[in-house]
Structure 1
Amino acid sequence: MRTVGIVVEYNPLHNGHHYHFAKAKQAAGADACVAVMSGDYLQRGEPALVSKWARAEMALRIGIDLVIELPVPYATANAEMFAFGAVSLLDRLGVVDAICFGSESGDIEWMRGLAKTLAVEPPAFSQLLKQGLAQGLSYPQAYARAVARYLRELGHADVPIDQPNNILGLNYLLALERLGSPMQALTIKREKAGYHQAAITDQQIASATALRALLFSQSAALDELAPYVPPTTLSILRREFAAKAGPMSWERFRHPLFHRLLQLSPAELAAYHEAAEGIEYRLKQAVTSSSSVQELLRQAKTRRFTWNRLQRILLAILLDLKKPQVAQLRLKEGAPYARILGFNEKGQRLLNQAKRKGRLPLISNVRDGLHPMLDLDIAASRLYRLAILCAEGTPTYADEYRAQPLMITSAPALAGNGAHPPLV
């Protein structure tokens, strides 16, 4: 059974994602698909619109066979570490033949050559990167400029590295090189809606950014999503929103976050992951005059500290994730386990193969103490659950331990009435 792997957030799953899934299977000549999906928090450093369980169900309902959770230290990391964690998971499962990602370019050859060049970072490139950072550029800006200048020095033409999916695609290929993975790499050109495109310009395709903006701007916006998402996604969103389990945003976490920012000293804030260069003082100043997390971010943002990096710092503070703790997780060694979020009959066969051929423990029942990274996943999901349950007024903390992987049978697709799907 030939299998393709994809890396997703599905925040929420829309028609463009469905297109990518179908084209990935076609491009790889695959019979099955494994998705590595971010959990309750995302690469931009923000909480997901709905829980990982709801989003895993969205994936299974369109035909993805197996959904594995990307641990939170990778899921909320910069592009390089995000990609490395996801690719290491797919590689170590032992059942994935190819990985397929979307890109603005649609051309993998220049990415492949560049990844081979940069897999062991050349000193000249490192120096160019440091120069950009010293000039006050954000890391993504400094990285893109360093790549362009380094290639020009080697006599190569400019490449379109400054676009978000191209950058992420390059990092997938860098991860394959560094892992020595035999997985084939494929790319599908992103069509009709850019990653950050806030405007909706097509009758069926819109970016997740545009759809989230629509949801947060209109109280009845779920009906407006119908042309842009699969019917199963819409049904799951209706169910989650009716239960007050979404739409989740940073504002649901404002009180615990502001409590920590007001309570901790600048020196204590500086100990958190990704905090640097005095950002702790800007955060302390901003929190005293902000009435929302969005306002806090606007006040703290600088040219060097992008919105996404600031969100990742706030998330580290919220999750109590400090620099020594991250160092002990040894992220550069790759994912240490695979937590199963859901599967169908074909996915169950893949899991049976992975038990024999894979190089990772497969985890379906969680408990404390299995691995420090899993302990962090559990704590992060409990905090997300708390933000939901506080809105409902019935806090409880044990759900993450009781949760079982979703198993979607070959029953008909989820009806559009908001009912829970048949799970076994």
Structure 2
Amino acid sequence: MKTVGIVVEYNPLHNGHVLHYEKSKEVTGADAVVAVMSGPFLQRGEPAIAGKRARTEMALAMGVDLCIELPVTYAVQPAEWFAHGAVAILEATGVVDCLSFGSESGTLERMLPLSRSLANESGALQSEIEKHLQEGMNFPSAYGAAAAAVFGDSDSDITHLQSMLMKPNNALGLHYLIALHRLGSRITPYTIPRESAQYHDPLPGASCIASATAIRNIILSQGLDAARPYIPEFTYSIMAREIENGQAPMEWEQFRQPLFQSLLTHTPAQLEGFLEVTEGLEYRIMRTLAKLQKPTVDALLESLKTKRYTRTKLQRMLLHIMLNHDKTSMNREELAKGPGYIRILGFSDCGRMLLKRMKQHATLPVIHKPTALDHPQLERDVRAAAVYANGHPQPDIKCYYSDYLLPPVTS
């Protein structure tokens, strides 16, 4: 049984995701699909619009056979570590043959050789990155410019590479490929061209495919019915149930109180110990808080944002502070070790067969509940799930402990 792996957030699952799922099976000839999915908090430092169980239901309804949680340790990270964690899990299952991801370029022709060169970061690359950072670039831009400068063959090639790496799906895809090389993985990569809407498009286009950003904006501003043309019917039904139950839609402002309490009860020296609090940002946070006209998360982010510090970087920083993610326990050396387990969120009948195969081939413990393993990454997952549940429009104490109380979703 040939199996393709995909890395997803499904925030929420929309028509573009269905297209990627179908194309991935078609291009790879796969019989089964394994998805590694972020839990309650996402790579751009945001809460998911709906909980991980609801989004797992969406994945299974679409046809995914096995859904695995990407630990929050990796889910709320820059592209390098997000990709490393996800690819390491797919590799550790022992049953995934290929990886499919979307990209703006739609081809691996240039990305594959570049990823091989970047897998072992050279001193020249690091020097170029530092040079661009000193010029005021944010890290993603500095990394793309440095990679283009070091590995481009000519001026025109450097320009082409830099343009290619400025596109978010290309940049993330490159890090999937780098992770495959660093892990010595046997998984074969494929990429599917991204169609119609682009990753950050804030508004829908003329087609039935819109970006997740646009769809979230519609749901939050106009209601779920207005987003119906851009999402499958099963996504609509699941979201409608979650909204009725007071567990969606989720956004940053619902976490204003715990976030501001954490910011206001830590000294600058204590804030500096949290992940992504760099280059004196702890003092900028304190100065900004004192000058805010309105105590909202959005106002704080807008006031903190600069050319150097993107909203995404700042959202991740605030999330790490709120979740107590410190630099010591989540440093590069620890992250490089990879995830410590394979946490099952849901599975189909075909997924049950994959789980049986994984008992013989997986190189990490396969768990269904957090009681099965004592691991610091798993403790962070449980805490993150409880914090997320505490932000529900209508909090339910049972949701705080759903990781312990509820089995994986089945279809």
TM-score range, shorter chain: over 0.9
Give yes or no for contact 1:203–1:227 (8 Å, CA) kept in 2: no
1:303 maps to 2:313: no
Distance 1:368 1:352 in 2: 17
What is residue 178 of structure 1 aligned with on the other side?
Answer: 182
Partner of 1:120: 120
Instruction: Judge conservation of contact 2:339–2:377 (CA < 8 Å) in 1.
Output: no
- The structural deviation recorded for 1:202 is 2.5
Partner Cα distance (2:114, 2:84) in 1? 16
Which one-letter code corresponds to 1:301 in the other structure? K
TM-score normalised by the chain length of structure 1? 0.93
For 2:271, the equivalent position in structure 1 comes to 269
Residue aligned with 1:86, SS:
helix
CA drift at 1:200: 1.2
* Cα offset, 1:394, TM superposition: 4.4
Matched residue count: 404
The amino acid of 1:341's aligned partner reads L
- Determine which of 240, 246, 256 is the counterpart of 1:244: 246
Q: RMSD of the alignment, in Å?
A: 1.4
Q: Deviations over 1:386-418 (max 9, x none)?
A: 112xx325434322211210111xxxxxxxxxx
Alpha-carbon distance in 1 for matches of 2:99, 2:206: 28
Counterpart check, 1:161 vs 2:168: no
1:179-258 matches, within 5 Å, as: 179-218=183-222, 221-258=223-260
The Cα of 1:385 is off from its aligned counterpart by 1.1
Q: Does 1:76 align with 2:97?
A: no
Partner of 1:420: none
Check if 1:327 corresponds to 2:340.
Answer: no
Residue pairs, 1:289-300, within 5 angstroms: 289=292, 290-300=294-304
CA distance in 2, matches of 1:227, 1:174: 36
How much has 1:118 moved relative to structure 2? 1.0
Structure 2 residue runs of 5 or longer lacking an equivalent are none
Q: Note the residue ranges of structure 1 that are not aligned, 5 or more in a row.
A: 409-424
- Kindly indicate whether the alpha-carbon contact (under 8 Å) linking 1:50 and 1:245 is maintained by their aligned counterparts in 2: yes
Give the structure 2 partner of residue 131 of structure 1: 131
> Hey, what does 1:352 align to over in structure 2?
356
Q: What is the TM-score of this pair, normalised by structure 2?
A: 0.96
- What amino acid is aligned across from residue 36 of structure 1 in structure 2? V
Residue 340 of structure 1 aligns with an amino acid whose one-letter code is: I
Deviation at 1:328, TM superposition (A): 9.0
* Cα separation, 1, equivalents of 2:395 and 2:109: 53
Contact kept, 8 Å, 1:258 with 1:287, in 2: the verdict is no
- The CA deviation string for residues 332-384 of structure 1, in whole angstroms up to 9 with x for no partner, is 12221110000000001001101101101011021286101000000110111
Deviation of the 1:2 alpha carbon = 0.3
Partner residue, 1:27: 27
CA deviations on 1:60-85 (whole Å, 9 max, x unpaired) are 00110000000001100000100010
1:413 maps to none
Match of 1:378 among 376, 382, 389: 382
Structure 1, 397-406 or 354-363: larger mean CA deviation: 397-406
CA separation of 1:126/1:360 partners in 2, compared to 1, >3 Å: closer, same or farther?
same
Q: Structure 2 CA distance, aligned partners of 1:358 and 1:368? A: 16
Provide the residue aligned with 1:314 in structure 2.
Answer: 318
Displacement of 1:156: 7.5
Say whether the 8 Å CA contact 1:88–1:179 is kept in structure 2.
yes
**Structure 1 stretches of at least 4 aligned residues deviating more than 4 Å after TM superposition:** 153-156
